[in-house]
Amino acid sequence: MEAIKEAPIPAMDSLTSAMKNNIVPNQEYLLQGSVLDSAVEVLLHRLRGLCDNVDSGPETFHDHEMCFSIRSVTPQPLTLRVRRAIDYLDMPYQLRYIGQPELGDKSRPTILRNSIDVATTPTIVDFLTEMGFRMDFEYILRGYMFRKGRMKITVSKIFKMMVVGKPAPESVDPISQSYLVELSVLAPSNQDAIAEDMRVFAEQLKPLVHLEKVDYKRLTQPPL
Amino acid sequence: MQREDKQLELVLENFQSKLNEFKAQIYALIFKLEHERDNVNWTTVLDTFAVFSTQYTAIMKYLSYEKLPQLRNYSVLPLMLNPERDEDLARITENRVPALSHDIVPDFLRTKTEPEVEHKLMQVEHKAGGLQFETAQKQLAAFNKVVNHVLDLVSKAREEWEVETGARVGIGQTSSVADLHTLVSAVSMGKNLKPMVPQVSPGGMMVPPTGRPVTPSMGPNTPPMGMMPKPPPGMKTNVKAAGAPHPYR
């Protein structure tokens, strides 16, 4: 008889040890900016030159994101985001938690926020609804994705859905005359060196796009 | 005499701190090369080398400063060689030199180049000395020609590049802070994306907001009237419909 195989390690234990060993990419370093529709071609051209996926050209995406929230004991509702690809219907859905963005002081080049994501099946929407989550808002993103080392750069147009649950092109409306530009890296904790690389990369996109740490607290205040 | 000793000590201390600083920078580069090999580009490496070169020049300048005692006038003599491992020595040299043995002393305390190298150098110098004046002139001219050609290429490329950047300045504004704030607050907080809360239906009936619970916290996020076009009447009925079976089922 063969030797008795070791008992499989329970999933929770391996997750805990992964967290302890600091190999779970649970933090997102983020810089945001915008570019006017008229200048987006120039930006795409420059990104094509700067980024890794030169040969294949920029990757396009067309996503639908729904933001769900649930009220619990804390005053702040818990928010989860579900994202699905409209152009690839057989792709898994993505469920994502995003924490409060930390702005940090001047010496920190990027925003830092907790981020956990997982691939799911389409039934996630029913699952969340059954749990008591309610959909807060939804939108359509359409744009281009670039890579540079560990950095991800997205240039996306945000559309409002005029008809709830209908992402058809004729029933969506762009919410501004600009594209949203995001530069992000998912990394385990305490890898602050990458933030410096992001600052250098953002510097190369000036003056076309100014990627910056957007202060979310100031956005919630109504404009005077 | 004692004053001189003190001065020497001070100089060595300064020199050592400069060297250590230099060493730390070299370590940083090696670390980067080892751990982020894929993300290093030649411009950063070049920049680092430029810094090294400056550091080196600064150190050499410091050493050649007149008022300093000439270090080359001091000699280091090995008083005793020992093949055994010397812990103190290993510690101060960070484990690079474990023992002051017969093996390494000729290399570490060398003041002249190795005989082999010296011989080669002599050969080259001899060859240079024996060169015909005309041949030398010819080679010099050819070399100058090549260098000038490269210089031409570089300056031409530079000129083109400057024209291009000059043209790019003329593009004008390419991004708008207001748009950025609109986009970010929409994506992060759903500003302008939340379905409008219907007040009164066309029939004059109150429409219960079944699509989603309306909470007081939504107040500040509701855009002021006029900022956004009012939704068409059809939209309101659709919001109501959203309360029915989920659209993504």
A126 contacts B186? CB cut-off 8 A: no
Cα–Cα dist B38/B36, whole Å: 5
Cα–Cα dist B47/B42, whole Å: 8
The CA-CA-CA angle for residues B138, B142, B148, to 5°, reads 140
* B211 shares contact with chain A (CB less than 8 Å): yes
> Which residue among B175, B187, B220 places its CB closest to the CB of A222?
B220
Probe site for chain B from A102, A136, A179, A182 (most B CB atoms < 10 A): A136
- Pick from A197, A190, A182, A156: nearest CA to A65: A156
Cα–Cα dist B92/B102, whole Å: 19
- State which residue of chain A sits closest to B222, comparing Cα positions: A222
Do B229 and A148 contact (CB within 8 A), yes or no? no
Cα–Cα dist B7/A222, whole Å: 67
What is the rounded average pLDDT of the residues B227-233?
Answer: 47
The pair of three-digit structure tokens given for residue B230, joined into one six-digit string: 């009012």
B213 contacts A36? CB cut-off 8 A: no
Q: What is the pLDDT of residue B88?
A: 86
Identity of the highest mean pLDDT range in A69-73, B111-115, B138-142? B138-142
Higher pLDDT, A153 or B205: A153
Q: What is the pLDDT of residue B21?
A: 87
Higher pLDDT, A103 or A158: A158
Q: What are phi and psi of A142, to 5 degrees?
A: -135, 130
- Determine what percent of chain A is predicted with pLDDT higher than 90: 34
> Which residue among A38, A137, A149 places its CB closest to the CB of B39?
A149
A135 contacts B175? CB cut-off 8 A: no
Q: Is the pLDDT of residue B184 over 70?
A: yes
Residues of B in contact with A34 (CB under 8 A): 175-176, 179-180, 183
Q: What is the pLDDT of residue B220?
A: 43
B108-112, B121-125, B151-155: range with lowest mean pLDDT? B108-112
A214 contacts B180? CB cut-off 8 A: yes
Task: Using pLDDT thresholds of 50, 70 and 90, give the confidence band for residue B85.
Answer: confident
DSSP assignment string, B55-124? HHHHHHHHHT-TTS--GGG----------S--HHHHHHTTTS-----TTTHHHHT--S--HHHHHHHHHH
Strands annotated E in chain A: 27-36, 59-70, 78-85, 93-98, 111-120, 134-148, 151-161, 172-174, 178-187
Task: Using pLDDT thresholds of 50, 70 and 90, give the confidence band for residue B234.
Answer: very low
Q: What is the pLDDT of residue B191?
A: 82
Angle between helices B2-35 and B42-63 (to 10 degrees): 170
A61-65, A155-159, B199-203: range with lowest mean pLDDT? B199-203
Q: What is the pLDDT of residue A145?
A: 92
In A8-150, which ranges are continuous DSSP H helix?
Answer: 11-20, 40-50, 124-131
Higher pLDDT, B229 or A203: A203
Q: Is the pLDDT of residue A181 over 90?
A: yes
Helix (H) or strand (E) holding B237: helix B233-241
Q: Is the pLDDT of residue B20 over 80?
A: yes
Q: What is the pLDDT of residue A162?
A: 81
Cα–Cα dist B173/A207, whole Å: 9
β A178-187/A27-36 pair status: antiparallel
Q: What are phi and psi of A208, to 5 degrees?
A: -65, -50
Number of Cβ within 10 Å of residue B182's Cβ equals 22
- Determine what percent of chain A is predicted with pLDDT higher than 70: 91
Task: Using pLDDT thresholds of 50, 70 and 90, give the confidence band for residue A157.
Answer: very high
Location of structure tokens 């010099």: B140
B192 contacts A160? CB cut-off 8 A: yes
Domains present along chain B, CATH in parentheses:
1-73 (1.20.58), 80-110 (no CATH), 112-167 (no CATH)
Cα–Cα dist A192/A174, whole Å: 35
Q: Is the pLDDT of residue B45 over 90?
A: no
Mean pLDDT of chain A: 84
> Which residue among B189, B192, B247 places its CB closest to the CB of A175?
B192
Residue type, B65: Y
Beta-bridged to residue A62, according to DSSP, are A142
Residue type, B173: Q
Q: From the CA of A56, how many Å to the nearest CA of chain B?
A: 19
Q: Is the pLDDT of residue A7 over 70?
A: no
ipTM metric = 0.81
What is the rounded average pLDDT of the residues A114-129?
Answer: 92
> Which residue among B184, B220, B248 places its CB closest to the CB of A32?
B184
Q: What is the pLDDT of residue B5?
A: 82
Helix (H) or strand (E) holding B23: helix B2-35
Do A162 and B231 contact (CB within 8 A), yes or no? yes
* B6 shares contact with chain A (CB less than 8 Å): no
